Structure 1
């Protein structure tokens, strides 16, 4: 089954990061379904949460994501606040319903 909207899991890894809420709002406003898991301290907690939430991508804020995280998540793309726009755009197929790229109905 294919979702209508991207589903992104946001995690504050090892330490709280107030930017997670702001990033979640920006993603939500762009039409992404956002699940904010809050602070998780271990790779196992992060992996378990991702299994339960079944996201299309995982955003890690607070501390740098572990290098092997993407492999541990079965290839689910992992991003940070700095790489979020490009990862979300790639997952969405490069389509955006903004003034720069109007919806298919306007074309």
Structure 2
């Protein structure tokens, strides 16, 4: 827990509370904030996530976030899903076991206690 920047602590607490997320989205909604403008530059969030991954506190998420699109009411979702030029989801990060322990301490002591 020592040696972590304020941004890294906030990222760990965010993922602890809200689950796997991408750096691009975390830059805009870190710890439940809302809005289109980033609160923190996305490049800084990506760099912080890379440092946390190297430290063994974050891992790239490898599961399905949602089921497949099966809407008959909104057929354009199926077309969007099958479009080969459609950009991928991006990299989602989740907490490792050690990351969950550290993030829990940070969340309980520094975030929830405010």
Q: TM-score normalized by structure 2?
A: 0.25
Rg comparison, structure with higher value: 2
Q: Which has the higher contact order (CA 8 A, sep 6+)?
A: 2
Q: TM-score normalized by structure 1?
A: 0.26
Greater strand content:
1
